[in-house]
């Protein structure tokens, strides 16, 4: 019988758990300290007692930052949904589940939805702390809109499927980049202070 351990995988789980512990410890240490509230109660005929509330790590953000965070979360969800829809439209057309006319219509709607998203990104109120990150968001969203337009063009004006499929791949890549850029913009205002 060999003395070599044939089950190399038995060390993977402890390493993953150790990595999670280290990550959690690092993350918790990076959080800002919470505030401790004290309440003073005076009872007639008695002394003053001070009660210390439980310490918490809740951070109160200004209202404009909270609105921005909500906006970013909503945009991230929409970007992911649009990428999923784009893939589905192409898959259904390639498998001949959906014919050309309906595919053209849904792809046109997708293009309009991406353009609407880009316009909202351009018009969004952005807190000062996120302005640098937001320029990347705008740039990547513009690339996503170009990919959606090229994909539609590849379906209706270009022979063959290469342009359509390549544009869908580009849309998927830019959607992933856009979600990352939105997360960076969000972090730039929530990690301050």
**Tens-place pLDDT, residues 153-172:** 999 999 999 999 999 999 99
Return the domain boundaries, the chain.
63-190
Res. 135 pLDDT band, cuts 50 70 90: very high
Where does 63-190 sit in CATH, by number?
A: 1.20.120
| Residues contacting residue 68 through CB under 8 Å, at least 6 positions apart | 124, 125, 126, 127, 130, 186, 189
**Do 185 and 134 contact (CB within 8 A), yes or no?**
yes
pTM of full prediction above 0.95: no
**Tens-place pLDDT, residues 73-127:** 999 999 999 999 999 999 999 999 999 999 999 999 999 999 999 999 999 999 9
Instruction: Report in angstroms the alpha-carbon separations of 121 from 62, 141, 142, 159, 178.
Output: 21, 8, 10, 33, 11
Instruction: Report in angstroms the alpha-carbon separations of 187 from 31, 35, 93, 133, 193.
Output: 13, 21, 38, 9, 12
């Amino acid at each position: 019988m060999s003395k070599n351990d044939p089950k190399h995988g038995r060390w993977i789980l402890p390493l993953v758990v150790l990595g999670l512990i280290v990550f959690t410890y690092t993350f918790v240490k990076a959080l800002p300290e919470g505030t401790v509230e004290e309440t003073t109660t005076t009872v007639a005929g008695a002394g003053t007692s001070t009660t210390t509330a439980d310490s918490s790590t809740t951070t109160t953000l200004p209202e404009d930052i909270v609105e921005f965070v909500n906006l970013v979360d909503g945009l991230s969800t929409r970007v992911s949904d649009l990428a999923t829809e784009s893939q589905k439209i192409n898959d259904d057309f390639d498998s001949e589940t959906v014919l050309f006319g309906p595919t053209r219509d849904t792809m046109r709607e997708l293009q309009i939805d991406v353009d609407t998203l880009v316009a909202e990104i351009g018009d969004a109120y952005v807190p000062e702390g996120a302005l640098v990150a937001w320029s990347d968001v705008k740039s990547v969203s513009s690339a996503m809109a170009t990919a959606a337009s090229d994909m539609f063009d590849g379906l209706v004006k270009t022979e063959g499927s290469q342009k359509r499929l390549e544009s869908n791949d580009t849309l998927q890549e830019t959607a992933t980049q856009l979600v990352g850029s939105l997360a960076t913009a969000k972090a730039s205002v929530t990690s301050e202070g």
